[in-house]
Structures are given as structure tokens and as C-alpha cells.
Amino acid sequence: MTVTTPQNTPVAEVPKSSGTRLVDRVFKMRELAILAVFLVMIVVTQLGNSEFLTEQGIKDLLLNATILVLVAVGQSLVVITRNVDLSVGSTLGISAFAAGTYLQGGGNAVVAVALAVLLGIGFGLLNGLLVSLGQVPALVVTLGTLYIIRGIDSIWVGSRQIVASGLPDGFVDFGSGGISAVPYLALIAVAVLVATAYYLKHFGSGRELYALGSNPEAARLAGIPVRKRILMAYTFCGALAGLAGALYLARFGNVDSSTGNGYELTVVSAVVVGGVVFTGGSGSVYGAALGALLLTSINSVLPALGVSSVWVLAINGILLILAIAVDRVVALRVATALKKRNARHG
């Protein structure tokens, strides 16, 4: 066998950064595709019902999406690490009730929000500790905490209910108010979304979340503090679920022991429809937010078109399957493209 030095190993010219462009393009395409579906849906609905996109109509669309966007952003971080948090619905419910109880007693609105977030952080920490230390699949652990938190909620709340009339006027007004068609709540969600996206892209610990979702063993060998990062993702997810609880209270003013029941599945759907890969390591919070916007908008679109809302769930399901199918096809295409590039220079 002859041995060549690396200098004269023949290698073909590879266009610089073509990989970035390819990958970026795919992911941007993925997000653009949801945006396109969303826009088409809105335009079609508007054509069928000219009353749809009034100022109030737009405001409702955004308001409806806000809470799901927040929880989906938190969930994305967890899913990126190849885990899942099923307890977000329960956390949302209990923090909404906690904030409501405090406000009914004449509390300060900012403190109420902080209280909800802290409660969320607490449950997030619990999940994170169980998953990272217990080495138990997240699906099972958070299914457990889903029921535990819901159980605590039921015992504590009983048949009580919080209604808008018991809350400070300013709080309720904030929940439904906004700058023309843009609700305040949506501004909060957008601020959280942009900050989270920036963090994930530009900070080491953010990239490490992707790394450990992509290959946990490699992450360990690279010296990434795996447990700490998972704990962090869950804590953040819990905090956003808590914040979403407070905003839920502000928006609807009505909370009981079943608030947030079954919400976790909607959240996971939004995240997956938005292109965050369920097996970790890939996806963006922008995608998840778009997924949330798309799913909640269907709720408004169908009635506007005179279609019975019983179709909503079925359509959500179809979107979910479609999204996964598209992801799979795109992944295969990308893999083939990358292999071909190898062949050229290997």
C-alpha cells in the first residue's frame, strides 16, 4: 500500500458554506412552509368571510395563540434535549389558580405573575431532577408529575372557581387590551420568543442543549454538564408554563380545577408541527411558535367558515401526521444530498 501525505491527497473543491446554505435553507423552508400554510388558510377564510380579519378578529387570533406559543417555546427546549414535559398543562392550571387566589385577596398583579412563574419553576425543577438524576424516561416521569400536580390542584381547588369579577380590573384589562390589533400578551410572548431564540443560537449553553439532544453520549464525552442542562431546560419550560398560567388568568379570568387539562398534547403537537424533531437535536423555537399559531388559528378559522368545530381535533391530527411525514421526507432528501457531496470529495 502506498502512503500519501495529506497534502497530495486528492480532494475535490467543495463550495464554501454550501452546507450552511443547504441546512439553513431546509430549516427556513420548514418554517416558511408553516407560515405559508397559515397565510393561505387566513386568506381563504377572509375570502369566504369578510368579517374574519377585523381588528378584533386579528386580535383574537393573536390572543388565542399567545398562551400556546409561550408553553410551546418552553416545551421546545425540553424536546430539543431529547426529552418531553407532559406536565405543562397541570403546571399551567395550578399556577393560574394560585395567581388568581392571590389576586382575589387583593394582591399586586406583578407579584401574582411572579408567583405563577415561581410555582412553574418549582415544578420544572422537580421534573428536571427526576429526569436527570433518576435516569428514567421523561415520558413516564412527566406523565407521573402530570397526575401528581393535577391531583394537588384538584384537592386544593376543589369545586372553587376564580371568576373575572373577583380580579383587579387593571389585570383583566391588561389581559384583553393591546396596541390597536396587537394584544399586550402577544407582545410578552414575542419578547420571550425572540430572547429564547437568540439565547439558543448565540450562547454556549444553548448550543449544548442541541448537542446533548443530538448525541447524549458524545455530549458526555465532550464534557457538557448533561444533567445541569436538562435541569435547566425543564426549569425554563416550567417557568414558561407558570407564566402562561398567569396570562391565562388575565386573558380568561376564569380558572377552576380542570384548567389546562389535556393541554400538554396540544403543546407537543404545536412543537412537532413546528418542526422541532421529537428525537432531539434539531428544530427552532420560531418553528414551534408558528406551529402554535397555526393550530390555534384553526379554532377560529373553522367557525368563520361555518364548519363545525368538531373537525378541529381531526384537522390538528392530520396536520401533525403531515408535519412528521414532511420532516421524514426532507430528512431523507438532505441525507442523500449530503451523501452525494461526500461521494464527490471522498
Partner 1 sequence: MTHRSDKGPAPVLALKGISKSFGAVRALRDVSLELFPGEVHALAGENGAGKSTLIKTLAGVHRPDSGQVLLDGEPTVFHGPADARDAGIAVIYQEPTLFPDLSIAENIFMGRQPRRALGRIDHKATHAATLALMQRLGVELDPDRPARGLSIADQQIVEIAKALSFDARVLIMDEPTAALTGSEVARLFGVVRTLREQGSAVLFISHRLEEIFQICQRVTTLRDGAWISSELLDGMTEDDLVRRMVGRDLDELYPKQEVEPGEVALSVRRLTREGVFTDVSFDVRRGEIVGLAGLVGAGRTEVARAVFGIDRWDAGEVDIDGKALINGAPSTAMAAGLALVPEDRRAQGLVMDMSIERNIGLTGLRTTVKAGLVDRGAERSRSLDWAVKLQVKYARIADTVNTLSGGNQQKVVLAKWLATGPKVLIVDEPTRGIDVGTKAEVHRLLSQLAADGVAVLMISSDLPEILGMADRVLVMHEGRLTAEIPRSEATEETVMAAATGRAAA
Site residues, partner 1 (CB under 8 A): 1-7, 9, 11-20, 22-23, 201-204, 207-208, 210-211, 213-215, 217-224, 277, 281-282, 334-335, 338-339, 341-342, 345-346
Neighbours of 65 (CB within 10 A): 26
Closest approach of Cβ 89 to partner 1, in Å? 28
Closest approach of Cβ 278 to partner 1, in Å? 13
Closest approach of Cβ 142 to partner 1, in Å? 23
Cα–Cα nearest to 98, from 236, 260, 234: 260
Residue closer to partner 1 (CB basis): 17 or 159: 17
Residue closer to partner 1 (CB basis): 12 or 155: 12
Closest approach of Cβ 17 to partner 1, in Å? 5
Residue closer to partner 1 (CB basis): 156 or 198: 198
The set of long-range contacts for 61-64, using a CB threshold of 8 Å and a minimum separation of 24, is 61/293, 61/296, 61/297, 61/300, 62/181, 62/182, 62/183, 62/186, 63/176, 63/183, 63/185, 63/186, 63/251, 64/296, 64/297, 64/299, 64/300
Residue closer to partner 1 (CB basis): 159 or 279: 279
Cα angle: 50, vertex 53, 56; to 5 degrees: 125
Cα–Cα nearest to 76, from 273, 299, 313, 301: 273
Closest approach of Cβ 220 to partner 1, in Å? 7
DSSP H/E element including 16: none
Residue closer to partner 1 (CB basis): 84 or 109: 84
Residue closer to partner 1 (CB basis): 160 or 345: 345
Residue closer to partner 1 (CB basis): 179 or 340: 340
First-to-last CA distance in the chain?
18
Closest approach of Cβ 95 to partner 1, in Å? 30
Closest approach of Cβ 257 to partner 1, in Å? 40
Between CA 218 and CA 223 the distance in angstroms is 9
Cα–Cα nearest to 124, from 239, 44, 24: 239
Q: What is the DSSP string of 244-302?
A: HHHHHHHHH--B-TTTTTTHHHHHHHHHHHTT--TTSS---HHHHHHHHHHHHHHHHHH
Residue closer to partner 1 (CB basis): 27 or 102: 27
Cα–Cα nearest to 290, from 23, 22, 30, 53: 30
Closest approach of Cβ 308 to partner 1, in Å? 41
Between CA 291 and CA 285 the distance in angstroms is 10
**Rg, Å, the chain Cα set:** 22
